[in-house]
Amino acid sequence: MRILQRMSFLVLYFVTFACFAQLPDARSMNGIRFITGGIGSDVSKAMQAEAKQWPLLLEFSQADGQAKPAWVSGVKVVISDAKNAPLLETVCDGPLMLVKLPPGSYSISASYNGVAQTRTLVIAKDAPQRIVITWKSPS
């Protein structure tokens, strides 16, 4: 029985450590913390698990209409407040972005391969959001 308990503890410890060890470093701009990344299954799983603790998860992909959309990186993101003042500008290192925004209204402009898409959203306390932005593949 003790061996089973020890083994269960070790498995739980290593699984927990593996998830947190793979999370990219958080950065900050104008007081807004964010994480970009998600390349590789370990990192993407860690970021998706962490998303429950962040007000906003952005996912970026490209679709050709035939198969499941493929995640993309190198997306330029600009998040602006309700007065259209830019708060955060960055280029994402992967297909996922976690953002700690305070409650309020925002617009998101995401550009990939010269094509911009815009979304508006309202962040509410304790109500994490997931926004998926997909671009069509060039013909």
- Mean pLDDT by runs of 10 across the 139 residues of the chain is 54 47 88 94 93 96 88 97 97 97 98 97 95 90
Residues 59 and 129: their CA atoms lie apart, in Å, by 11
Question: What was the pLDDT predicted at 67?
Answer: 79
Query: Topology of domain 2-136, per CATH?
Result: Immunoglobulin-like (2.60.40)
Question: What was the pLDDT predicted at 126?
Answer: 93
Could you count the other beta carbons within 10 Å of the beta carbon of residue 65? 8
The predicted-structure confidence for 100-139, as pLDDT tens digits, reads as follows: 999 999 999 999 999 999 999 999 999 999 999 999 988 6
The domain locations on the chain are: 2-136
Segments of the chain assigned E as strands: 27-29, 32-37, 56-63, 70-71, 76-81, 86-91, 96-99, 104-112, 115-123, 129-136
**What is the pTM assigned to this prediction?**
0.82
Question: What was the pLDDT predicted at 66?
Answer: 78
